[in-house]
Structure 1
């Protein structure tokens, strides 16, 4: 099977592309050529690479045709961020492929209401990223219902793994938060630290794409969450990280305005975005329809990235 992965050298592609090769797929990766996989093995030697600037080609209206001209059976799109980009690709591929798998985000839900949130919950997205991703999902699923377009959407949570900084217990990406916990120093958290995060290991996201591809008949026209089977509160996450280093978390809780006033501006923005969402999503649908269960718990997924930070000297334990 000829499988094209758009954006295949990032967090998910690092695990997905080798998995597809081992399953016997003839894999092509469409990439800007600006990064290598976070780690690689011999399977990457069997992958064909095609360089493309999606933003520029979307603007010129040529990207969808570029993809279609490669004659794939399956397209896995990991880097689509606007409805117009999704529309161009879908229209170019209509009637020419067996399956399009699109990478969405749990941000399509907006703030959690009833938890665990299921895929059919009403959408209340906010922020440009969540709003655009929800619009993409709406367009693709309408096209599936109306035209029989063969699409499946996978919505990852906070993707973790070795090679990058995972979202931390304060809801941002400052590695100093991990250092404080590893060294037994005091860490300030907003409110009472009871907002939630929904980490997932990148390998588990990759496996869900494979499960949807393998169970094509039941996956078509559907969207699936890709998160760990559990969510973490900020304080629970902090305590789990501290325990990893043999420490007890020294936590201080501050009112939001007080906490935001003493933190770097970019950390405040990231934390605000995460805690306003406070995701806690269900994996029941993926298990029921695809027979899929994530391998890593939320804390295990996060710790995989944190251990990498320690091993590479990016934080001092």
Structure 2
């Protein structure tokens, strides 16, 4: 079986790449080559910028694929390009959408593939919805063999998954290590799902070349539900420090920040979500997410602590956290008189 990944080195795709190379796939990676040195040997590298359509067309001119997957498409115009490049050249085209595209606010916290797609809070999610609409129209009208995959919050060993953070996530861990308070949105009791990228990869590979997945949208997540308080407690425990949490409403955080907290929080992480993965398990018999979050986050913390290059500080976010926490303290004092 021959596959082409556009990207192939990100949080999600790197894990899929690693697993596929142990399973006998003939794998091609189309990317700019910036992170390929971190991948195991065995993949065929097609080095190019996907935005250079003419150059890519020359690279794939004599190639046919069982699967083409685009991990870095975010807008319909990018999929229009993919369609021109790979129409008639692949038996399956997989688009990586996002579970953030699901209805916000939710009418039911239990989510499956039938949950409506509508997110007025986040342009990223609306663009993903538009991408899905474009591809499904091609499937209905021309038989273009599309499969849509919807990940939720997927993490790897290189970055600590969090709710409220700045340009990266290390600064929150640094605050914990310095015994400083960290911000949790809301009261920390809303439910969330964290999926380890190795679990995601198994589900994804099970959909590749799967004739039952053509024309379908499938979410891939863990079945484990955690509150944000539990998530931050697990991170603190992995760091070996007590958690000093300050709970702040998502609306207040959005109003106080220049970051896109409106989309990322109000349009996503502030909502309780519990995913029903029955469809995935029907399409991929035997699939199960096996990495419990408290176990996976220990692997992530150990890796980040062992690699100083991943510990990128964000002093602006650090100062912003202090300002928000001080503002809450001042408000309490003002109300109490």
For the aligned pair, the TM-score class normalised by the smaller chain equals: 0.7 to 0.9
Whichever of the two has the greater Rg, that structure is 2
Structure 1 residue 286 corresponds to structure 2 residue 285: no
How much has 1:182 moved relative to structure 2? 4.4
Aligned mates of 2:156, 2:290 — CA distance in 1:
13
Aligned mates of 1:298, 1:146 — CA distance in 2:
42
* TM-score scaled by length of structure 1: 0.83
Aligned mates of 2:15, 2:211 — CA distance in 1:
24
* TM-score scaled by length of structure 2: 0.78
Q: Tell me the secondary structure at the aligned position of residue 147 of structure 2.
A: strand
Structure 1 residue 89 corresponds to structure 2 residue 82: yes
| Cα deviations by residue, 1:25-55 (Å, 9 ceiling, x for unpaired) | 2211100122236x433xx2x2211122123
Aligned mates of 2:26, 2:248 — CA distance in 1:
53
| Cα deviations by residue, 1:4-41 (Å, 9 ceiling, x for unpaired) | 1110122223222232222222211100122236x433
Aligned to 1:275: 269
Equivalences for 1:182-193 in 2 at 5 Å?
Answer: 182=177, 184-193=179-188
Equivalences for 1:114-133 in 2 at 5 Å?
Answer: 114-126=108-120, 127-133=122-128
How much has 1:121 moved relative to structure 2? 0.7
Change over 3 Å in CA distance of 1:267–1:135 after alignment to 2: closer
Change over 3 Å in CA distance of 1:186–1:117 after alignment to 2: same
How much has 1:3 moved relative to structure 2? 1.4
Q: Tell me the secondary structure at the aligned position of residue 22 of structure 1.
A: coil
Question: Structure 1: where are the runs of 5+ without partners?
Answer: none
Question: Structure 2: where are the runs of 5+ without partners?
Answer: 313-337
On the 8 A contact 1:181/1:241 being kept in 2, the answer is no
Structure 1 residue 213 corresponds to structure 2 residue 208: yes
Change over 3 Å in CA distance of 1:52–1:25 after alignment to 2: same
Structure 1 residue 249 corresponds to structure 2 residue 248: no
On the 8 A contact 2:112/2:276 being kept in 1, the answer is yes
Aligned to 2:30: 30
How much has 1:187 moved relative to structure 2? 2.4
Aligned mates of 2:251, 2:96 — CA distance in 1:
35
On the 8 A contact 2:100/2:268 being kept in 1, the answer is no
Change over 3 Å in CA distance of 1:67–1:138 after alignment to 2: farther
